[in-house]
Structure formats: C-alpha cells, structure tokens
Structure 1
Amino acid sequence: MSAFRIWLEAAYLPAFRAVGWTFVLHGGGETRAWAGGERRVSEQRALLLALQAALKAAPAGKDEIVLTTTNGFLATVPKTIAEASSGGEATEEDLDLWAALSTALAARPVKIQRTGSAAGTPAAFASAWAELSRDRAKGGPFQLAIPKTNVAKIQGLP
C-alpha cells in the first residue's frame, strides 16, 4: 500500500473572520496544490472546511494518507472524533462538518501528524499561500488550483 502525502496549513484573521488555507497533495507520481478561503466563519469551522477539502482532493482508493500540519487543532481531529464515537463529550458546533469528516476518516487510513514549519518545506510553501489566501478571502469565498509553475518550486518533497 502506497501513501499520499498532504501538507495543510491555514491562516485566520479574527477581525474579518476570514481564513485562507492551502494544501499540497503529493503521491501517485505527481504534486498538486490548492488554495481557498472563507469569510464570516469561526476559526474552527474554517479549519474543518480546509481539512474536508484536502481529504476530498485525495484520489479515491485504499492508499494511506499522511496529512501533516503545524496546526494543533487539526492534529487532534481524529482523536476528537474517536472520543465522541465512544461516548465521550461531543461538540455541538459544526455538526455537519464533524459528521462528514468522521465518514471520510473511517473510509480509509488517514494519519494526521503535527510538525514545525521549517523554511524550504512543503509546509512552509502551504503556510505562505495560506496567508495570501486569507487576504484574498476578505473579498469572499474562493477555491482554486495553484499554478503548476508555482507548485514546481516546492522543495523538500519525499
């Protein structure tokens, strides 16, 4: 079983309740990246939307996904879902996204790990684009593929 790698970063601006997110998907012989943003959302909802978009972009199949992020909240999503499923305290906000993510995480092996954002890594690339996306999201929601010429500049891919 091969693995697809995803690096996901988000940048939130409380004054505008705006978020920008970016993820890099590497696997199957290619690397692609997307950026998006939302306005007038809570930080939690924005992060869950970003995670949902990243997981949807991965090709269907049984290949493992290794998702790497510097965001502490995103790294705890599988644990939060597992605790709620086993009778623990469940969140009352964003139930639609929690349900969709619970289904997505149960459908295939996904390992979410937290990392630092060292220069010259896919995480640093995603972080820089997330900040640009956050600023663009002040004007309203969007989602777009990052041009291949920019993606080709990503360093540190396995």
Structure 2
Amino acid sequence: MAAVTLWIANLCRSDPGYGGWAYVRKMDGETGAAAIKGAAGGERRTSSAKMSLTALTEALESLTDLPPETAVTLRFLDPALAGQLVAADGDYATAEPEVWALARAAVASRPVLDLVPAPPGEPTSGFLSAWAEFGLDTAKSRGSFKAAIPKPNLMKFPG
C-alpha cells in the first residue's frame, strides 16, 4: 500500500491579522521531483486557527490523485490542532465554522490518517515556517493568494 507524509505549518501576526500557511507532501520511499509537491498561501484579516485549518485542508486536498486508503502521516506545527480535530465544539469550530467544516470533511475522507506533532526545532519545521512566512508577507502586499512551492525549492526540503 502506498504511503505519504504531509507536513503543514501556519503563521499569523496580530490574531486576527496577516496570516500564511504552507504544506509539503512527500510519497514515502520515493525520491525525485515527482515524489514531492507543496504549496503556500496567505490572507489578510485572518486568524491563526483559520490558517492552520487552511493548511490542513489544502494538504489533504492535494491527495486527490491517491486512493482513499493510502496511509497518510500528517506532521503539524500547531500544537492545538490534533485536540481541536477530535473536539466537535472546540475553539477552532467556534472561531472559524466554515473552514472548520472543510477541514473536518477533508479529514473524514482519509480513513488512514496518523496525526503527529512536529517539534519546532526540526529542519522540516524551519522550511515550512519560512514558506508560511512567505505566504503572510505576500498576503500583505497582494491580498489572498495560493501558489505552488517551486520544485527547485522543494528539492531542498529536509524531510
């Protein structure tokens, strides 16, 4: 059975304020440009919860080319995310109901999903945080956006 690892990160300055998110998807056991992809984005007047849920949703939606039974390991920097996903009425659900519903649907579509917190000191965390910050900075000047992380950059991903 195929397996994939997703890494997600988010950043928000002045909650609510400018925010950014990023994800990287890597097929386990594979190498080369075809095995990895990622994206980053950002918004104005947003919250940390929304950026975290957006990163999660975008990462899981990137799996549409894989069968639903593909084993997925989700590594995330937001320390509250896993607890929020199991609480039907947590802070994220209350603060961001629309994005919350999208995130819950994306999680439900993946029956084999392992949630693993990523320590902030890992090299993968630094890479993702830098792209989330790029999303935040770009949202300041251009408004809401989403873009693929260029392959040359992804090939430097330490995961």
Q: TM bucket by the smaller chain?
A: 0.7 to 0.9
CA contact (8 A) 2:21 2:42 kept: yes
The yes-or-no answer on 1:106 pairing with 2:108 is yes
TM-score normalised by structure 2 residue count: 0.82
Deviation at 1:102, TM superposition (A): 2.1
Give the superposed CA RMSD. 2.3
For 1:136, the equivalent position in structure 2 comes to: 138
Deviation at 1:147, TM superposition (A): 0.9
CA contact (8 A) 1:24 1:122 kept: no
Deviations 1:93-128 (A, max 9, x none): 322222222222122222221121335x32221111
For 1:118, the equivalent position in structure 2 comes to: 121
Distance of 1:117 and 1:90 partners within structure 2: 21
SS in 2 for 1:92: helix
Task: Calculate percent identity across the aligned residue pairs.
Answer: 29
Deviation at 1:149, TM superposition (A): 0.7
SS in 1 for 2:120: coil
Deviation at 1:50, TM superposition (A): 1.9
SS in 2 for 1:35: strand
Following superposition of structure 1 onto structure 2, how do residues 7-156 of structure 1 map, counting pairs within 5 Å? 7-14=7-14, 17-27=17-27, 29=30, 30-58=35-63, 59-61=65-67, 62-81=69-88, 84=89, 91-108=93-110, 109-119=112-122, 121-139=123-141, 140-155=143-158
Q: Report the number of matched residues.
A: 150
Deviation at 1:15, TM superposition (A): 6.9
Q: Which amino acid aligns with 2:118?
A: T
Q: Which amino acid aligns with 2:19?
A: V
SS in 2 for 1:76: helix
* Consecutive unaligned residues in structure 1, runs of 5 or more: none
TM-score normalised by structure 1 residue count: 0.82
* Consecutive unaligned residues in structure 2, runs of 5 or more: none
CA contact (8 A) 2:12 2:46 kept: no
SS in 2 for 1:129: helix
Q: Post-superposition, which runs of at least 4 consecutive aligned residues in structure 1 deviate over 6 A?
A: none
Distance of 1:2 and 1:115 partners within structure 2: 22
